[in-house]
Amino acid sequence: MTDFAATKAMFDLPEGVIYLDGNSLGPLPSAAKDRVANMMTEEWGKMLITGWNKAGWMQKSTAVGNRIARLIGAEEDHVIMGDTLSIKVYQAVASALEMNPSRKVVLSDNGNFPSDLYIVQGLLKSLGAEYELRVVDPEVVAENITDDVAVLMLTEVDYRTGRKHDMKTLTAKAHEAGALTVWDLAHSAGALPVDLAGCKADFAVGCTYKYLNSGPGGPAFIYVAPRHAEVARPALSGWLGHEAPFAFELDYRPGRGIERMRVGTPPVIQLTSLEAAMDIWDQVDMQDLRAKSIELCDLFIAEVEAACPELELASPRDGDQRGSQVSFRFREGYAAMQALIERGVIGDFRAPDIMRFGFTPLYIDADDVRAAVAIVKDVMTNDLWDNDAYKQRAAVT
């Protein structure tokens, strides 16, 4: 059994704060600052350029990728770190489109994180007018996987409501229809068990600064299924994805397997911070995490609904249909969230009316949930109407 009291003790959490926004930016692992300081002074400071080999900087992108692979059900040596999630989306969709050249449609849904849609819009504009991004409601994705779809690109867990797509079913349906899949795991990696290999996903991407706790701007990851790894052409063909980067040849030759998805020089300081976070993850069983996450979310829903009838559940009630967050709709949600933050309960707000709370068993427990609900109730009963954000809004409307 995962010892979540032990993992909680491995984070520096500020006094008086109940942090329910780890789905946006995870908190600081206690060990991270010393790990980074050590990397800076003992490796960069003392080894200088030789750190690339001596300190293993060049291998970090694959070494860390393999530690994340376990959390998302990926095969060994098929996940690599680097860049940002948006860049990794571009790489994945560009490669997938080329592998399905007779088709020109990318299918996605309007619950996807906007950056994924923007990136594909930019890519398709470069590729030509015959390409199309087709965006449908999340509920009707399955029936829209028609035989002109080249790539199905979805974020598994909706960033606003936590609604979870069925990766296995949708991937199978895409394959039946002759489409490839790109799964964005931004709100999945570290939030719930993912089984990329079992689902036969083609490509997957994700970030590390949310549930994985790598710090602001931590590197992203990309997964390419073993059956595609030697086939996919990297559109962003940078030197570290070359078969022999230090031969300094004039022509690009893609590196072996996932290595070709490297682009430029890896962000070693951010990767070091991520390594400290992965030391915590290495102690976590994902099934335990999932059970605890559902328990915390269910508790929050039950207690909020009992205490605050004004708040309307925006997330699926069934834990199996949800990621690791709970959202409520409330017309004065912005003001309410400001009031909550002032009281030390940190969630966030997404327009027009979503109050969003992330539950992260690594450092949030049932006592935190109950304490948070007490403050939510108090805010809804007392504080809200005195809140500046509410008064400003009331003055305008």
Residues marked active site are found at: 113, 184, 209-210, 356
Least Å from the CB of residue 98 to its own copies: 8
> How many whole angstroms separate alpha carbon 225 and alpha carbon 95?
12
The answer to whether residue 118 forms part of the interface with its own copies (CB under 8 A) is yes
Pick between residue 171 and residue 272 the one whose CB is nearest to its own copies.
272
Q: Specify the 3-state DSSP secondary structure of 136.
A: strand
Least Å from the CB of residue 117 to its own copies: 6
- Mask: binding to its own copies, 147-166, rule CB under 8 A, as x and -? --------------------
Least Å from the CB of residue 241 to its own copies: 8
Contact 96, 123 (CB under 8 A): no
Least Å from the CB of residue 64 to its own copies: 13
* Torsion of the alpha carbons at 236, 240, 245 and 249, rounded to the nearest 10: 20
* Binding window for its own copies (CB under 8 A); candidates: 49-57, 137-145, 328-336, 365-373: 49-57
Residues from 337 through 366 that contact its own copies (CB under 8 A): 341, 346, 348, 350-351
Pick between residue 209 and residue 281 the one whose CB is nearest to its own copies.
209
Residues from 68 through 87 that contact its own copies (CB under 8 A): 83-87
330 is in an annotated binding site: no
271 is in an annotated binding site: no
Task: Using alpha carbons, list the distances in angstroms from residue 396 to 244, 352, 353, 380, 391.
Answer: 62, 16, 17, 21, 9
Residues from 305 through 334 that contact its own copies (CB under 8 A): none
- Mask: binding to its own copies, 233-272, rule CB under 8 A, as x and -? xxxxxxxxxx----xxxxxx----------xxxxxxxxx-
> How many whole angstroms separate alpha carbon 378 and alpha carbon 343?
10
* Binding window for its own copies (CB under 8 A); candidates: 121-129, 190-198, 321-329, 372-380: 121-129
Pick between residue 267 and residue 361 the one whose CB is nearest to its own copies.
267
Task: Using alpha carbons, list the distances in angstroms from residue 224 to 1, 76, 257, 261, 289.
Answer: 31, 11, 8, 9, 25
293 is in an annotated binding site: no
Pick between residue 13 and residue 172 the one whose CB is nearest to its own copies.
13
Exactly one of 9, 56, 76, 125 binds its own copies (CB under 8 A); which one? 125
> How many whole angstroms separate alpha carbon 389 and alpha carbon 371?
23
115 is in an annotated binding site: yes
Pick between residue 309 and residue 352 the one whose CB is nearest to its own copies.
352
Exactly one of 52, 298, 378, 393 binds its own copies (CB under 8 A); which one? 52
Task: Using alpha carbons, list the distances in angstroms from residue 347 to 17, 22, 269, 340, 397.
Answer: 11, 9, 28, 8, 25
Would you say how long the chain is, in residues? 397
265 is in an annotated binding site: yes
Least Å from the CB of residue 14 to its own copies: 5
252 is in an annotated binding site: no
Relative orientation angle of helices 60-72 and 268-281, to the nearest 10 degrees: 30
Pick between residue 125 and residue 168 the one whose CB is nearest to its own copies.
125
187 is in an annotated binding site: yes
281 is in an annotated binding site: no
Q: Specify the 3-state DSSP secondary structure of 19.
A: strand
Pick between residue 45 and residue 198 the one whose CB is nearest to its own copies.
45
Residues from 177 through 216 that contact its own copies (CB under 8 A): 207, 209, 215-216
Q: Specify the 3-state DSSP secondary structure of 157.
A: strand
Contact 170, 192 (CB under 8 A): no
Residues from 28 through 47 that contact its own copies (CB under 8 A): 28, 32-33, 36-37, 40-41, 44-46
320 is in an annotated binding site: no
DSSP single-letter state for residue 155: E
Cα 22 to its chain centre, rounded Å, is 11
DSSP single-letter state for residue 261: G
Burial (CB < 10 A; 0-12, 13-18, 19+), residue 362, is buried
Exactly one of 72, 123, 372, 384 binds its own copies (CB under 8 A); which one? 123
Burial (CB < 10 A; 0-12, 13-18, 19+), residue 74, is buried
Exactly one of 68, 73, 79, 90 binds its own copies (CB under 8 A); which one? 90
> How many whole angstroms separate alpha carbon 224 and alpha carbon 180?
11
The answer to whether residue 126 forms part of the interface with its own copies (CB under 8 A) is yes
Burial (CB < 10 A; 0-12, 13-18, 19+), residue 396, is exposed
Give the annotated binding-site residues for pyridoxal 5'-phosphate: 85-86, 113-116, 155, 184, 187, 209, 239, 265
